[in-house]
Structure 1
């Protein structure tokens, strides 16, 4: 980004990769396609694209078309010696000002002018995080004071309305109506 100041929730960076690698390079913009994901990203598709999940059942619906991470996580990790930049955790969209982990299942995130992503669940951090940065896994996957598992690796979602998303775009949160279910790993 060019040092612009943003008020309110916004996109910090967008990333995509056409190959299955852990980190994704930051790009100027991504194109979200309804029911598909990020155009040109290896994880796009109507059925599951993550290698471990394909091995178990390639016909599963893809609930992980878009991966979002809050930049506040990077701020939290910095003093622990883990210097994480947008795209390094494999996310497509890095946000600031949105409590992604606190959202209920089914929340719709309006990204930029047109794109909409329905949040399906939490990313379940895996060993690849330690392969990227030794010791990082224990910082993003641990136990809360009450003993529950705490997953900080971002959220996953499906594209329900397409559009172009760029750094600096606003993020608007639309909570689901009715009973709100906490996010679970997907």
Structure 2
């Protein structure tokens, strides 16, 4: 389906910073997320979600963004690179936004991430660079909001993920469910 899909970069941050640091590898922990990342955990870790209800399940353990978005933003004069928008995994050659909920992403030798939904970009992105929030949002022909800032997922099987690792996609049974914000 996506024969040339691969991991371009991996990033993490041990504190609640907007951007994450590119590293040579990350370890995904089943049911938790990225080892040594502030958003790892069984229950929600994003501050706004914790304020609503700290017992919510963490459907945002891993954030993935397609490198093609970063290239598009750079072409529009934004200064962005891997990890700058807070993602853990930067992919290439994979239509992340077109995946259905429940799609399984096989990253490297053993790690499996289940796609749970779309990242909803928050006001922090505007603080990172003015105009960036509008640049990662759009509207379709019907006027519906399109979120382009990547997808979120949960770790089903752990493993080490490195730049250059292949990505294989396993789609859930039909009918497929569109991604909604999580």
Q: Shorter-chain TM-score category? A: over 0.9
Question: Structure 1 length as normaliser, TM-score?
Answer: 0.95
Which residue of 14, 17, 31 maps to 1:18? Answer: 14
Which residue of 51, 56, 61 maps to 2:57? Answer: 61
1:1-186 equivalences under 5 Å are: 8-186=4-182
Runs of 5+ in structure 2 lacking a partner?
A: none
Deviations 1:103-161 (CA, angstroms, capped at 9, x unpaired): 00000000000000000000001111110011000010121232110100000000000
**Matched position secondary structure for 1:32:** strand
Aligned equivalents of 2:142, 2:72: Cα separation in 1 = 20
Deviations 1:150-174 (CA, angstroms, capped at 9, x unpaired): 1000000000000000000000011
Aligned equivalents of 1:141, 1:128: Cα separation in 2 = 14
Name the count of aligned residue pairs. 180
Deviation at 1:74, TM superposition (A): 1.0
Runs (4 or more) in structure 1 with deviation over 4 Å come to none
Question: Structure 2 length as normaliser, TM-score?
Answer: 0.97
**Matched position secondary structure for 2:84:** coil
Deviations 1:18-75 (CA, angstroms, capped at 9, x unpaired): 1000000000000000001000000000000000000000000000000000000011
Runs of 5+ in structure 1 lacking a partner?
A: 1-6
